[in-house]
């Protein structure tokens, strides 16, 4: 089956569309607000034009619990500094657990790991554990505004710790246990935590990774730390040597239960911090991004309901570690009264189709993963529906990188024919989506269906002119509730402004190149600071990668374009070859011919170079920007952080290549710093 980018491949039938959450919301708007929209697109336009009216409707539609009424929806349409629902007092954890009393014996979590068999947790068990732990934290003097951090795997204990922390108004932050010491220290040292939740290690691909030494070093660098709550995840009874008091997880969550009616959630002001997320940390000190309770509550209701179509019967799964923003989104399922499946371990161990088996075993209705994961399934010839019953699956949610038409087609053929495939793109900055799924609209191969509701996203050229059907800079023209309220330690908002508002005053510049076509379909073309700018013509690296996926001998690839000191450009293509293949004239010629034929002459690289491996960040992104900086002459220590990498040794080749290439003259970095 040959499908071109943008070809229609699916549309829900009338029953599916009419029963979708957006359709029900449109009915409610008609009855309660007197707003009669002729189409989803009409409601979308209203939501981006009248953001105050839209978010007021979200507040009422989902019945947001507030101790006090809000004074107004939005004080002013300013960025940064927009103030949402001032006067309200809310709590995020209370909204997650509000369904507990309705069905305490129903399952809320399925959880599987390489160390534990598949098991379940009920709403009642979750609520009880959260209340006990929250009470123990209060007894230790933890209160509103105190920071509590985690170095734990994706297991129920970590979710419980997060809900207990946020339930008492303390501020949560998480790092994955595979992160190196420097990566964790760069994050946690900025926010001075009082409590650390830590596991003794994790298992990945059948191998145990004990983290005692790392935890000792992390704790030693946190003078504010008073308590470590210790989880024996691998069964290692040894404890780290630290000045902080160590308390066992079972001690903090055991004992007499705390009844729901005897527990008080800390309802906090509209601008009270909920959690702190960090930028990838590929270069420089990671940005400590702070979200509010109220902003995340309303944004997550909107996204879970209208862009994933989650309902009380739904079971959401998304493969994520605790160090990725998607982990903070896993509770979309319980937020809507449904279930969530957690998995900790390798997605391909002991077999490459493990996650599909998990989806079948738990009856997942929404399956989430990166396009890279799905593409690897396709290349390996795996056919999940030949082995597993995936009849309950309603949608696949792709995030993390651009998707290809081939990925969409494979999902229909190998997973389920009647499948709503939604590719979405957002960011750590919002803990939500910018462009994403719309169950009332058709699906087109490789295309993101629509702008998200109430997100005024536009595409601009260098002069600030809006573009339709052309690649340009992604900007957001109006505030969103889940935009960061501030960055920790950035008292004067200078880093905030420099990060997002230095190019287009008054507009959020997200750092991605994007195309929105005339029908509203969206394509994200990668980070704008790593996008290929060759003689003034912008080329998305995703275009290169999509073509190379069809070349048999190429396993992986990375492309950059750098400006030379003399005004020229250099665009090398680095390829990791499959076993048994060599980069001979025939393969190089095929690569060049395909790029020239499928893309344009400007897409043909100056050189094709074989490398041992392609470097990736811990969150699975190709390290285009660090490689580009190395080739521009940046010192390695300024170009990237080894602790932020999956495969540290892979960068050694690029460091050596950049050194050899620059021996004949100064790179761009040296040229700029000498001025």
First to last CA, the chain: 56
Alpha-helical (H) ranges within 415-549 are 494-500, 541-548
Q: What is the pLDDT of residues 279-314, one digit of tens each?
A: 754 445 688 999 999 999 999 999 999 999 999 999
Q: What is the full DSSP assignment across 270-308?
A: TT-EEEEEE---SSSSPPEEEEEHHHHHHHHHHIIIIIS
Task: Specify burial of residue 585 (Cβ count, 10 A radius: 0-12, 13-18, 19+).
Answer: exposed
For residues 12 and 178, the model is more confident at: 12
- At 537 the pLDDT is 61
How many angstroms separate the CA atoms of 509 and 3, rounded?
33
pLDDT(670) > 70: no
Residue 588 has pLDDT above 80, yes or no: yes
Which band of pLDDT confidence, cut at 50, 70 and 90, is reported for residue 602? confident
Average pLDDT over residues 131-158: 98
Number of neighbours of residue 283 by Cβ within 10 angstroms: 17
Q: For the whole prediction, is pTM greater than 0.95?
A: no
Query: Could you give the CA distance from residue 617 to residue 640 in angstroms, rounded to a whole number?
Result: 10
pLDDT attached to residue 671: 32
Domain ranges of the chain: 98-274, 530-673
CB atoms inside a 10 Å sphere around CB 267: 17
Separation between Cα atoms, residue 177 and residue 198, nearest integer Å: 8
Give 571's DSSP letter. -
State residue 666's pLDDT score. 41
Determine the distance from the C-alpha atom of residue 484 to the mean position of all C-alpha atoms in its chain, rounded to a whole number: 15
Q: Quick one: pLDDT at residue 630?
A: 92
* Distance of alpha carbon 432 from alpha carbon 539, whole angstroms: 26
Do 296 and 273 contact (CB within 8 A), yes or no? no
**Is 453 in contact with 44 (CB distance < 8 Å)?**
yes
**Least confident span in 62-66, 70-74, 265-269, 531-535:** 531-535
- Residue 401 is predicted with a pLDDT of 73
Rounded percentage of the chain residues whose pLDDT exceeds 90: 76
* Cβ atoms 84, 481 nearer than 8 A: yes
Phi, psi (rounded to 5 degrees) for 29: -60, -35
Give the pLDDT confidence score for residue 625 in this predicted structure. Answer: 85
Overall average pLDDT of the 13-20 stretch: 97
**3-class SS of residue 101:** helix
**Please, which pLDDT band fits residue 535 given cuts at 50, 70 and 90?**
low
For the ranges 125-139, 357-371, 376-390, 540-554, which has the lowest average pLDDT? 540-554
What is the predicted pLDDT for the residue at 669?
Answer: 35
Task: Specify the residue for token string 């699956």.
Answer: 393
Among 493, 306, 638, 447, CA closest to 5: 447
The pLDDT tens digits for 380-402 are: 899 999 999 999 999 999 987 77
Indicate the average pLDDT of the chain: 92
Beta strands in 502-543 (DSSP E): 508-516, 522-527, 532-534, 537-539
Compute the C-alpha angle 556/562/568, nearest 5°: 135
Q: Pick from 351, 428, 365: which is nearest to 394 by CA? A: 365
User: H/E/C letters for each residue in 47-70?
Assistant: HHHCHHHHHHHHHHHCCCCCCCCC
pLDDT at position 197 over 70: yes
Q: What is the mean pLDDT of residues 588-599?
A: 89
- Whether the per-residue pLDDT at 538 is higher than 70: the answer is no
What is the distance between the alpha carbons of residues 440 and 448, in angstroms, rounded to a whole number?
A: 13
> What per-residue confidence (pLDDT) applies to 526?
66
Two tokens at 526? Answer: 């990668």
530-673 fold:
GMP Synthetase; Chain A, domain 3 (3.30.300)
Percent of all residues in the chain with a pLDDT value above 70, rounded to a whole number: 95
Range 55-78 average pLDDT: 97
CA 134 vs CA 94, 144, 151: distances in Å = 12, 12, 18
CATH architecture of 98-274: 3-Layer(aba) Sandwich (3.40)
CA nearest neighbour of 120 among 111, 130, 129, 133: 111
Same fold, 98-274 and 530-673: no
Confidence of residue 665 (pLDDT cuts 50, 70, 90): low
Length, in residues, of the chain: 675
């Amino acid at each position: 089956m040959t499908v071109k980018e943008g070809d229609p491949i699916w549309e829900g039938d009338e029953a599916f569309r009419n029963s979708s959450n957006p359709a029900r919301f449109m009915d409610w708007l008609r009855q309660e607000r007197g707003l009669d929209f002729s189409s989803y697109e009409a409601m979308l336009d209203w939501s981006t034009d009248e953001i105050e009216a839209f978010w007021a409707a979200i507040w009422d539609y989902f019945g947001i619990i507030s101790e006090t009424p809000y004074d107004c929806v939005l004080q002013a349409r300013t960025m940064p500094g927009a103030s949402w629902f001032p006067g309200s007092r809310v709590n995020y954890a209370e909204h997650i657990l509000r369904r507990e009393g309705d069905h305490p014996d129903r399952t809320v979590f399925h959880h599987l790991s390489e160390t534990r068999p598949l098991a379940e947790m009920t709403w009642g068990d979750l609520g009880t554990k959260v209340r006990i732990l929250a009470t123990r934290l209060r007894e230790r003097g933890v209160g509103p505004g105190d920071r509590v951090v985690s170095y734990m795997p994706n297991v129920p204990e970590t979710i419980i710790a997060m809900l207990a922390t946020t339930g008492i108004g303390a501020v949560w932050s998480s790092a994955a246990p595979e992160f190196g010491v420097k990566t964790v220290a760069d994050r946690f040292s900025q926010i001075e935590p009082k409590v650390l939740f830590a596991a003794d290690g994790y298992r990945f691909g059948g191998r145990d990774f004990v983290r005692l030494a790392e935890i000792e070093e992390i704790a030693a660098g946190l003078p504010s730390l008073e308590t470590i709550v210790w989880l024996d995840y691998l069964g290692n009874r040894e404890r780290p040597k630290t000045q902080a008091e160590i308390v066992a997880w079972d001690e903090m969550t055991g004992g007499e239960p705390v009844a729901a009616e005897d527990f008080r959630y800390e309802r906090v002001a509209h601008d009270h911090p909920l959690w702190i997320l960090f930028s990838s940390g590929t270069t420089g000190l990671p940005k400590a991004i702070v979200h509010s309770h109220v902003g995340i509550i309303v944004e997550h209701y909107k996204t879970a309901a209208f862009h994933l179509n989650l309902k009380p019967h739904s079971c959401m799964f998304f493969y994520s570690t605790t160090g990725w923003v998607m982990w903070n989104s896993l509770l979309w399922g319980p937020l809507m009264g449904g279930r969530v499946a957690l998995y900790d371990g390798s997605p391909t161990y002991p077999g490459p189709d493990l996650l599909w088996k998990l989806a079948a075993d738990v009856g997942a209705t929404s399956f989430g993963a990166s396009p890279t994961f799905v593409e690897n399934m396709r290349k390996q010839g795996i056919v999940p529906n030949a082995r597993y019953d995936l009849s309950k699956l309603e949608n696949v949610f792709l995030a993390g990188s651009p998707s290809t038409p081939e990925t969409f087609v494979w999902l229909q053929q190998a997973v389920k024919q009647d499948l709503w495939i939604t590719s979405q793109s957002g960011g750590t900055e919002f803990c939500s989506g910018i462009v994403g799924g719309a169950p009332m609209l058709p699906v087109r191969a490789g295309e993101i269906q629509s702008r998200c509701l109430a997100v005024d996203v536009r595409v601009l050229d260098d002069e600030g002119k809006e573009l339709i059907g052309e690649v340009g800079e992604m900007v957001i023209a109006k505030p969103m509730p889940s935009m960061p309220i501030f960055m920790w330690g950035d008292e004067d908002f200078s880093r905030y402004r420099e990060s997002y508002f230095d190019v287009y005053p008054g507009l959020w510049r997200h750092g991605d190149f994007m195309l929105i076509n005339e029908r509203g379909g969206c394509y994200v073309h990668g980070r704008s600071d790593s996008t290929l700018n060759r003689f003034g013509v912008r080329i998305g690296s995703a275009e290169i990668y999509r073509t190379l996926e069809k070349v048999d001998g190429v396993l992986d690839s990375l492309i950059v374009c750098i400006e030379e000191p003399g005004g020229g450009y250099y665009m090398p293509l680095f390829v990791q070859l499959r076993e048994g293949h060599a980069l001979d004239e025939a393969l190089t010629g095929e690569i060049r011919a395909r790029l020239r034929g499928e893309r344009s002459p400007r897409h043909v690289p100056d050189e094709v170079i074989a490398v041992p491996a392609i470097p990736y960040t811990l969150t699975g992104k190709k390290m285009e920007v660090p490689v580009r900086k190395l080739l521009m002459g940046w010192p390695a220590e300024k170009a990237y952080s080894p602790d932020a990498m999956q495969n540290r040794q892979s960068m050694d080749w690029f460091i050596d290549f950049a050194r050899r290439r620059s021996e004949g003259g100064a790179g761009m970095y040296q040229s700029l710093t000498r001025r």
